[in-house]
């Protein structure tokens, strides 16, 4: 399928053989085709074309928890819908926002307007859509707690609106998306004001900067936290206990600051990080009998 020819009439940009290393926060070597989509109509029409041609694809947000393939044969879709930040105004109603909006923008807006519950966006280096997909969160809460509704384009190019309820999310996971679904718009709840929100956000950012390697190239937490006999098992703490902090394979190193962060210290490869992940995962199971699931997403 010639993507440029098939999509030339749509509001999209197709870049082939593109260096994608900067599209992942771990900065691993990666190259592939990037399709930047600028409207929901273009997204609908494109997925209809893909469906009729049996063309597979991957969705690419900010790449905060993603390990991209070094040479992907599957095109990546990136949403870049136009949005005027000046239109983000607190009028006491819920907010309908593009999925491509960065959570850092929402964090700043929360500080300015003391929006109750919006502290959950703090410190998550993700787009809104990407955060919803994995129900991203921190010790302050989870994104799913604030989501009221999502709009998606399905694999066949048809749009669908999904109302969120108490069964829509579990830990680091959504329960409503099917393979190929693309979130393009999200409705976030307005829970009113809380004068303590700004202070909570500032304190959390300070704590995070002291306890996580914020200046290094990482993909965020590699493993999901687990539990054993109903007792919490924080992955970073357990990696520290068994002495794996500082362990390196190639230019990939388990952080000395936080054991659940793996750092690219130079020109690390996908193979380096996968090998280090498997080593840590196996050692954690041998030492504690706990099978830690990956929070990082590995693209094929």
Query: Do 101 and 175 form a contact (C-beta atoms < 8 A)?
Result: no
Based on the domain organization, do 140 and 64 belong to the same domain? Answer: no
Domain that holds residue 272: 213-298
CA–CA distances in Å: residue 170 to residues 199, 204, 296 = 28, 23, 16
Q: How confident is the model at residue 66 (pLDDT cuts 50, 70, 90)?
A: confident
In a domain, 202, yes or no: no
The helix (H) or strand (E) run that includes residue 254 is strand 252-254
Nearest-CA neighbor of 224 among 294, 165, 280?
294
Phi/psi at 113 (nearest 5 deg)?
-115, 5
Nearest-CA neighbor of 218 among 296, 164, 152?
296
Q: Are strands 173-174 and 169-170 parallel, antiparallel or unpaired?
A: antiparallel
Degrees, nearest 5: CA angle 75-79-82: 150
| Share of residues in the chain with pLDDT > 90 (%) | 80
pLDDT at 65: 83
pLDDT at 293: 94
Tell whether the model's pLDDT for residue 211 goes beyond 80: yes
What is the domain-level CATH number for residue 114? Answer: 3.30.465.10
CB atoms within 10 A of CB 213: 16
Mean pLDDT of 53-78: 91
Taken in order 275, 278, 281, 286, is the CA torsion positive or negative? negative
How many Å apart are CA 206 and CA 273, to the nearest integer?
28
Beta bridge partners of residue 36, listed in sequence order: 13, 78
Based on the domain organization, do 39 and 93 belong to the same domain? Answer: no
Query: Do 128 and 103 form a contact (C-beta atoms < 8 A)?
Result: yes
How many Å apart are CA 132 and CA 144, to the nearest integer?
7
In a domain, 162, yes or no: yes
Based on the domain organization, do 121 and 148 belong to the same domain? Answer: yes
Counted domains in the chain:
3
CB atoms within 10 A of CB 157: 16
How many Å apart are CA 272 and CA 253, to the nearest integer?
9
pLDDT at 87: 80
Tell whether the model's pLDDT for residue 300 goes beyond 70: no
Sequence-separated (6 or more) residues with CB below 8 Å from residue 121 = 103, 104, 106, 107, 110, 131, 143
- How many residues are given for the chain? 300
Based on the domain organization, do 123 and 221 belong to the same domain? Answer: no
Tell whether the model's pLDDT for residue 229 goes beyond 80: no
Q: Which range, of 10-19, 141-150, 167-176, 226-235, averages the lowest pLDDT?
A: 226-235
What is the domain-level CATH number for residue 271? Answer: 3.90.78.10
pLDDT at 227: 79
Based on the domain organization, do 140 and 184 belong to the same domain? Answer: yes
The conformation of residue 187, written as its DSSP 8-state character, comes to E
How many Å apart are CA 225 and CA 213, to the nearest integer?
18
Pick the last residue of a domain from 26, 57, 79. 79
Query: Do 251 and 272 form a contact (C-beta atoms < 8 A)?
Result: yes
Based on the domain organization, do 74 and 95 belong to the same domain? Answer: no
In a domain, 148, yes or no: yes
Task: Compute the radius of gyration of the chain from its Cα atoms.
Answer: 20
Based on the domain organization, do 102 and 145 belong to the same domain? Answer: yes
Q: Which range, of 9-18, 159-168, 256-265, 291-300, averages the lowest pLDDT?
A: 291-300
Share the mean pLDDT of the chain: 94
In a domain, 290, yes or no: yes
pTM of the model: 0.89
């Amino acid at each position: 399928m010639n993507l440029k020819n098939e999509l030339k009439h749509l509001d999209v940009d197709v870049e082939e053989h593109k260096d994608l290393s900067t599209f992942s926060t771990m900065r691993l070597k990666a190259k592939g085709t990037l399709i930047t989509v600028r409207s929901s109509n273009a997204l609908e029409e494109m997925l209809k074309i893909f469906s009729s041609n049996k063309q597979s694809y991957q969705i690419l947000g900010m790449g905060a928890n993603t390990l991209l393939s070094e040479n992907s044969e599957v095109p990546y879709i990136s949403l870049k819908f136009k949005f005027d930040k000046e239109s983000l105004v607190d009028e006491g109603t819920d907010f309908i926002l593009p999925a491509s909006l960065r959570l850092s923008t929402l964090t700043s807006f929360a500080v300015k307007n003391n929006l109750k519950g919006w502290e959950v966006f703090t410190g998550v280096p993700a787009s809104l859509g990407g955060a919803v997909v994995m129900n991203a969160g921190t010790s302050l809460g989870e994104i799913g707690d604030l989501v009221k509704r999502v709009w998606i384009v399905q694999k066949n190019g048809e749009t669908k609106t999904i109302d969120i309820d108490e069964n829509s999310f579990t830990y680091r996971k959504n329960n409503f998306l099917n393979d190929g679904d693309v979130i393009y718009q999200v409705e976030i709840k307005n829970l009113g004001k809380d004068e303590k929100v700004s202070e909570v956000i500032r304190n959390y950012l300070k704590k995070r900067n002291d306890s996580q390697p914020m200046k290094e190239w990482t993909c965020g937490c590699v493993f999901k936290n687990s539990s054993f006999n109903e007792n919490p098992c924080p992955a970073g703490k357990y990696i520290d206990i068994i002495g794996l902090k500082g362990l390196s394979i190639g230019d990939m190193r388990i952080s000395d600051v936080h054991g659940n962060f793996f750092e690219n210290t130079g020109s690390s490869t996908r193979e380096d990080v996968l090998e280090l992940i498997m080593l840590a995962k196996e050692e954690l199971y041998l030492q504690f009998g706990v099978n830690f699931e990956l929070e990082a997403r590995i693209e094929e």
